[in-house]
Chains A and B, each alone.
Chain A
Amino acid sequence: MSAELDAAVRHRHAPATALTVAAPPAPVPGSDGGATSQAAGQVAAAVGWASDRGARIAAVAIALAWHCVIGLPAVLANRAELTAAGVVLTAWAVVAVVGVLAGVRLLRQTPLPAWPLAGLLLAVDATVFAAAGERALFTTANWVWGTLGWFFMLALWGRRVRGLIALLAAHSLIALVAVVGYGATTPADLARLAMYVYGTSSLPIAAYVGSAVVAVLARERATTSAATHAMAAERDAAERARRDRRDRLALVGGAAGAVLAELADGRADPTDPLVQRRAVLAAARLRRLIAESDDVPDPLLHELRAAADLAERNGLPIDLVTIGAPPPLPVQVRRQLADPLTATLADALEWARLTVVSGPDEVVVSLVTPDRNGPDATGPPEWDNGSHEGRVDRIYERDGEIRWVQTRWRR
């Protein structure tokens, strides 16, 4: 796998991997179809570039090899026949330098601007035709005939084939003007012109179209498979969430049903504080379950729900109210948001209210429990708000009425 494809694949999976720490194989939370297809598009583009790389190397190699192995010796051998040999050689050197530069940039995925480059090549084209002169018109010393088509290809790589055809047409037009200008208009000369034009255009076009088709096919295949994977992951996560909720509903329903049945049978006394407590617990749990509306489990809410479930198993009625869906958050931010609350929750008595209000740029988590007399059993939890993606602030206070922990992340 090439470096860029590798990087793109890492980019696609990095957030999901980070998030799986708390909630196993969860895709990016809150990701909708748009985000999925966007990610799939990135992967596809990377695959396209990767599969294109071989073709790019070949194109650069052909252009430079042709330029050096065929063009240069022909110019040097036929210097005497050229009208202005110095100009032709200089033009050769210019194209050599530009060709190397364009080739390197192309292989590094930062191609030179196409149209200025094409303009320069056409200017060189006209100059060489003029400087070569009539005697060298149809010889290999007029190196632009055979070589320039390959450099056009480098200049326009990755664009539509129309541009290349237009450039080659301009190239042919310059040749035609030169041929007519030098008065080489005998049928034999025109036939030679046609042959040269066909011979020097067909190969670059064929190579160009071939590589483009290969890249498009690879990209399409990658898009399809990435989208399929993303959909499967989302489906799995939704299915897991559904199963999880169903299991808990069975559990909660059982608890609430038992209390109700005992009350109906007269086996439980509604004035009994213990029975009242059981009813309160069952009601709180039912309410939390009803309030869950996310289809794909969000790691932060998952952690908080787990903490709430745990506290409730220890007999604490707890309300968990969530507003909005948290954006994808790094593990560290999530920990900073949740940990101070879970620590205080472990210590809470009577009741607790846990709330999460989320927007795209802010998540505020709060825990309120009745304040008890006496010093804190645990004290305010340890706090460290290092430098991360955005900032997490924490407020901890007791006012005699309530104990209040609030953590707030701002982008």
Chain B
Amino acid sequence: MGADPVAEMSGGRPIGVAIVDDHPVVVDGVRAWLATEPLLTVLATGDDPDEVLRAAPDADVVLLDLRLHGRMALGKLAELSAAGRRVVVYSEHTDPETMLAALDAGAVAFLAKHEGREHCVATVLAAASDRPYVPPALAGAMVGDPRPDRPVLSDKEREALLLWFQSMSKASVARRMRISEHTVKQYVDRARIKYTRAGRPAATKAALLARAIEDGLIRPEEIGIYRSQARYDRPTP
């Protein structure tokens, strides 16, 4: 993986972030979290995705509260993702169904609001370079995915997700699995990449997949499997 993926993505300029949330106190909190990372700059905030993006059309990453004015913004999320917007969903609704639905709709990442500053900053940085970041809550949702058409994960990928969800410490997972922290992250990220073929296609999913191949996270021949599986999504003639 590149030593400085972020600089490589944004050509040296800071990463622009737009925050969409209907609670000003949350917006202020997230803004404070992001301010601790000099690479990030908040371009616009507000409670209406369209208005926020009009104010900041160049935003690299959109932090979207999934519940806006009492309604789940899954439709809006799918629309933005299809248009190639890197949306990081963050929500206090951390039931697995909601998290997986957000991934299916094209969210680059899902962050539980209580997961805190470090995960928030790490997620936004990864999203800006089309790289996966799986916070523990999302790992739990993926490992417990009960849907019959869920992506097929390897035993190691499942175990890494499960232990990461349980312990929230990649160092501890690495010790338990007797592998390096880097390998733990690879297993977790590979599992996440497999989810890019779940749900409807989106520009953001294609970008995640392309970057994963570029980084050597998955092999190009594995894409064949994804393509052939994707055929099942279309009605057979």
CB within 8 Å of B: which residues of A?
Answer: 283, 287, 290-291, 293, 321, 323-324, 353, 355, 357-359, 364, 366, 368, 395, 397, 399, 401-402, 404, 406
Asked, given contacts A291-B94, A323-B96, A324-B146, whether A355 binds B172 with beta carbons under 8 Å apart, the answer is no
A293 to B94 alpha-carbon distance, docked (Å): 11
Residues of A within 8 A of B144 (CB): 323-324, 357-359
The chain A residue with its CB closest to the CB of B146 is: A324
Q: Are A401 and B169 in contact (CB under 8 A)?
A: yes
Residues of A within 8 A of B137 (CB): 321
A178 to B82 alpha-carbon distance, docked (Å): 84
Residues of A within 8 A of B165 (CB): 321, 323, 355, 357
Residues of A within 8 A of B169 (CB): 368, 401-402
Main SS of the interface on chain B? helix
Q: Are A404 and B141 in contact (CB under 8 A)?
A: no
Q: Are B176 and A397 in contact (CB under 8 A)?
A: yes
* Interface-centre pick from B141, B167, B168 (highest chain A CB count, 10 A): B167
Residues of A within 8 A of B175 (CB): 399
For residues 164 through 189 of chain B, which have their beta carbon under 8 Å from a beta carbon of chain A?
Answer: 165-169, 171-172, 175-176
The chain A residue with its CB closest to the CB of B173 is: A404
A290 to B162 alpha-carbon distance, docked (Å): 22
**Besides A357-B165, A366-B166, A404-B166, 16 new A-B residue pairs in contact (Cβ under 8 A), listed by A number:** A287-B114, A291-B95, A321-B140, A323-B96, A323-B141, A324-B144, A355-B140, A357-B162, A358-B144, A364-B162, A364-B166, A368-B172, A399-B171, A401-B171, A402-B169, A406-B166
Asked, given contacts A353-B166, A366-B166, A397-B176, whether A323 binds B143 with beta carbons under 8 Å apart, the answer is yes
A406 to B164 alpha-carbon distance, docked (Å): 13
Can you show 18 pairs from A to B with CB atoms below 8 A apart? A287-B114, A293-B95, A321-B140, A321-B165, A324-B146, A355-B140, A355-B166, A357-B140, A358-B144, A359-B146, A364-B162, A368-B167, A368-B172, A399-B171, A399-B172, A401-B169, A402-B167, A406-B166
Residues of A within 8 A of B95 (CB): 291, 293
A291 to B137 alpha-carbon distance, docked (Å): 12
A337 nearest CB across to chain B (Å): 14
Residues of B within 8 A of A364 (CB): 162, 166
B175 nearest CB across to chain A (Å): 5
B138 nearest CB across to chain A (Å): 11
Is B51 interfacial (CB-CB < 8 Å)?
no
Residues of B within 8 A of A323 (CB): 96, 140-141, 143-144, 165
Residues of B within 8 A of A395 (CB): 176
B221 nearest CB across to chain A (Å): 30
Is B92 interfacial (CB-CB < 8 Å)?
yes
Residues of B within 8 A of A321 (CB): 94, 137, 140, 165
